[in-house]
Structure 1
Amino acid sequence: MDFDTVAGELYGLPPNAFTAARDRCAAEARRAGDKELARRIAALRRPTLAAWAVNLLARGRPDDIRSLAALGEALREAHRALDGAQLRDLTRQQRTLVDTLARQAAQLAAEAGHRLGDAAQRDTEATLQAALSDPESAQEVAAGRLATALAAPTGFPAGGDRARTATVTTLEAARERRRLREEAPSREREARRRNAEAETAERARDEALREVETLRHRLEQARARAEEATARAAEARARAEEAGQPPEEDPG
């Protein structure tokens, strides 16, 4: 078992089957003694419906994803060259290709038993637009292991100072997406740690309450025995007095 193989298999599953399969793989890795692999597998996040649909597209039609990335590179080159005619032609191709691939992703999802709603369809289109606009996003999409949809950039720049500004904005957005993705496992680990601590504290509280209840019950039993012993002693003194015998001293 290796991480890439496991991750590849998991992200090919429908979202509703992901969590159970991930947990089984993590448990198997732990039983095999590979704690680091188990940790990495357990940190994998269940894909959203849109991310899963794009994963299906990347796995089933990798040539289409490569065409998307190639068109993105052509658009970036046209922006650098400030070639207006080529930009207009490539922009039309961009809209057509993104729309076509988004419909294909929705069809693949429907064939696999999950219809995309309007929101998921928009997220699918945004992810494909991000792959076209950003080379790193294109690599993520091509890998077929998305857990969440990618944010679409504001668009390709028109040229001049606006081109440089928009390019910087796109790069900053890409860096922010990477930062959030890198921090997500840490946030999830912290959340799991806090949940585990809360569960431990709750178990300790319950155990303490059970011990208090046991001690209270024992105290009540001891009090009952003492009251019974006192009653027997009083009864014995009463019988002795009736018989004209001196009462026995209370041993207590």
Structure 2
Amino acid sequence: MDVESVAAELFGLLPSEFTAARDEYVARARKAGDRELAAQIAALRKPTLAVWTAGLLARRRPKEAEGLLVLGEALRTAHRTLDAAQLRRLSHDQHVVIGRLARTARALAAEAGQTVSEPVLHEVEQILQAVLADADVAAQWKAGRLAKAPDAVRGFTGLEPLPGAAPPRRTQPRPAEPETERHQAPAPGARAGQARRKRLEAARTEAAEALAEAGRLEAGQATAKELADRAATAVAAAEKDVTAAAQRLETARAASTDANARYREAGRAAAKARTRAETAARKLEKLTGAEG
């Protein structure tokens, strides 16, 4: 028994089962006299429901998980190289893929007996976004060792461009200046270069954020369309149920009317039979009295 194998088992359990199973392993390690292992296992934290749900993809759908990791690497490369065409295509892809994988994760959770609400599903999407943006988070997620949700990310603005993708920055120290010139204002050309670099950096950040926002909006539109289609299907099914219920009600009403008519007819027939029986009884009584 080691902490890696124990962690792999614990993170695969339902969140509600995590603590009891972890404590049992801690007790076993202490009983075996391995205090260090017991401390390592005790330090394992129960994952949140969103983290556990996102982790189901890495554990149960490794091929799809690998596809997400490949997309993340492509996106990070596109941001470093400032490849606008690639960024536009991949920014759209990332939101479509994240939405699809989040729904897959919720389905896997349902199969395991765990309900995932819409707010939790949104957290799952944020976790998968962090997997795309951060290689370290991606590694933890792939290994099934992600215990808490990473900080929410917005775009890929923290990535440095590769050499040649942006104006080169000064890497050599300035030549030593005479003492009398060290505090002089920068030359006009230097100031213009600095301003241009700042404008370029601001434009690059704005473009990356705009591309990411466009992708999010497109994915939101696709999600809204899917929800609208589901709602329309539900309405059609409900209308069908209402129609069927109305038909059943009409049939039941007709049956009730027929049954009531039969009941009244049976009552009338019974009354006539009773009258005939009473008439026959009186005749019999008269005949019997006459014979006496």
Does residue 47 of structure 1 match 2:87?
no
Question: Whole-Å Cα distance in 2 between the matches of residues 95 and 4 of structure 1?
Answer: 32
**Aligned-residue offset at 1:122:** 1.3
Question: Whole-Å Cα distance in 2 between the matches of residues 23 and 163 of structure 1?
Answer: 53
> Identity rate of aligned residues, in percent?
52
Question: Whole-Å Cα distance in 2 between the matches of residues 34 and 69 of structure 1?
Answer: 37
Question: Whole-Å Cα distance in 1 between the matches of residues 74 and 150 of structure 2?
Answer: 21
The one-letter code of the counterpart of 2:117 is G
Does residue 62 of structure 1 match 2:51?
no
Kindly indicate whether the alpha-carbon contact (under 8 Å) linking 1:79 and 1:87 is maintained by their aligned counterparts in 2.
yes
1:178-206 C-alpha deviation (Å, 9 max, x unpaired)? xxxxxxxxxxxxxxxxxxxxxxxxxxxxx
Match of 1:95 in 2: 95
Match of 1:161 in 2: 201
Q: 1:164 to 1:26 in 2, by over 3 A?
A: farther
Question: Whole-Å Cα distance in 2 between the matches of residues 24 and 113 of structure 1?
Answer: 23
Question: Whole-Å Cα distance in 2 between the matches of residues 153 and 36 of structure 1?
Answer: 35
Question: Whole-Å Cα distance in 2 between the matches of residues 97 and 18 of structure 1?
Answer: 29
Kindly indicate whether the alpha-carbon contact (under 8 Å) linking 1:131 and 1:141 is maintained by their aligned counterparts in 2.
yes
The one-letter code of the counterpart of 1:124 is V
1:89-140 C-alpha deviation (Å, 9 max, x unpaired)? 1111111111111111111111111111122111111110000011001001
Match of 1:139 in 2: 139
TM-score, normalised with respect to structure 1: 0.62
Match of 2:165 in 1: none
Question: Whole-Å Cα distance in 1 between the matches of residues 203 and 44 of structure 2?
Answer: 37
Question: Whole-Å Cα distance in 2 between the matches of residues 118 and 151 of structure 1?
Answer: 19
Q: 1:101 to 1:16 in 2, by over 3 A?
A: same
Q: 1:162 to 1:9 in 2, by over 3 A?
A: farther
Counterparts of 1:75-90 in structure 2, within 5 Å, are 75-90=75-90
After TM superposition, the structure 1 stretch with the greater mean CA deviation from structure 2, 92-101 or 64-73, is: 64-73
Does residue 127 of structure 1 match 2:167?
no
Kindly indicate whether the alpha-carbon contact (under 8 Å) linking 1:22 and 1:41 is maintained by their aligned counterparts in 2.
yes
Kindly indicate whether the alpha-carbon contact (under 8 Å) linking 1:71 and 1:94 is maintained by their aligned counterparts in 2.
yes
The one-letter code of the counterpart of 1:8 is A
Match of 1:201 in 2: none
SS in 2 for 1:116: coil
Match of 1:188 in 2: none
**Aligned-residue offset at 1:64:** 1.6
**Aligned-residue offset at 1:151:** 2.6
User: Whose Rg is larger?
Assistant: 2
Question: Whole-Å Cα distance in 1 between the matches of residues 6 and 151 of structure 2?
Answer: 26
The one-letter code of the counterpart of 2:80 is R
Question: Whole-Å Cα distance in 2 between the matches of residues 13 and 120 of structure 1?
Answer: 18
Question: Whole-Å Cα distance in 2 between the matches of residues 163 and 101 of structure 1?
Answer: 32
Query: Unaligned stretches of 5+ in structure 1?
Result: 167-252
Kindly indicate whether the alpha-carbon contact (under 8 Å) linking 1:25 and 1:38 is maintained by their aligned counterparts in 2.
yes
1:132-179 C-alpha deviation (Å, 9 max, x unpaired)? 01100100110112222223311124985148879xxxxxxxxxxxxx
SS in 2 for 1:139: helix
**Aligned-residue offset at 1:4:** 0.4
- Cα root mean square deviation, aligned: 2.0
Question: Whole-Å Cα distance in 2 between the matches of residues 13 and 98 of structure 1?
Answer: 23
Kindly indicate whether the alpha-carbon contact (under 8 Å) linking 1:65 and 1:142 is maintained by their aligned counterparts in 2.
yes
Match of 1:181 in 2: none
Does residue 6 of structure 1 match 2:6?
yes
1:31-73 C-alpha deviation (Å, 9 max, x unpaired)? 0000000011111111111111112111001222221121111
Question: Whole-Å Cα distance in 1 between the matches of residues 3 and 203 of structure 2?
Answer: 40
1:5-56 C-alpha deviation (Å, 9 max, x unpaired)? 0010000000111100000000000000000000111111111111111121
Kindly indicate whether the alpha-carbon contact (under 8 Å) linking 1:51 and 1:124 is maintained by their aligned counterparts in 2.
yes
Match of 1:33 in 2: 33
SS in 1 for 2:154: coil
